[in-house]
Amino acid sequence: MTQSLSTLAPFLAQGGSGGSFLVTPSIGLMIWTLLAFGLTYAVLRKFAFPRIADNLDKRQRAIEESIETAERTKSEAEEILAEYRERLKEARTQAEEIVVRARRAGEQHEADSLAEAKRRREEMVEQTRRDVEQETRRAIQEIRKEVADLTIMATEKVTRKSLTDDDQRRLVDEALGELDFERLAGEARQN
């Protein structure tokens, strides 16, 4: 602080006698100031202002281009978003259609499976019925044979003689005629 006061001392010493040369204008100082200002203005106008104007124009064009690019990008983004939303809507519609088709296919498969199972069951029931009828016929044939043999044996014991083939056939036919094989077959089916 001491140094700054020492540098200001000569100006403070002039104090009241005209030390305020900066406040009171002098004509010479004014002319030199105007001349320096004019010269500086002319140099700035010739060299600096055109460059500044060019840079401002470039900056303005760059800002306008940036705004145009941003607007183009925004419109493209809106178009892409609209397209994306449309595709998303289509994808949802297709997904719903796929689900509906899959559900229908599942229902159809279930119906086909039920129909196939019913057909197989009916085939098995029919095969079982045929097997039962065949076994019944075979059993009736065996019973007829047994009855015929028993009838022949009983007749031989009762008459104590051997029968001729014609007598045996006649007796067997009579015995078999007395039996109701159709009734036996019906009882076998019920059991």
| Domain boundaries, given as residue ranges, for the chain | 26-190
Q: Cβ atoms within 10 A of the Cβ of 5, count?
A: 9
Which pLDDT tens digits describe the chain residue by residue (191 residues)? Answer: 445 545 544 544 444 445 566 677 788 888 999 999 999 999 999 999 999 999 999 999 999 999 999 999 999 999 999 999 999 999 999 999 999 999 999 999 999 999 999 999 999 999 999 999 999 889 888 887 887 777 777 777 777 666 677 777 777 777 777 766 566 556 655 65
**pTM tops 0.85, yes or no:** no
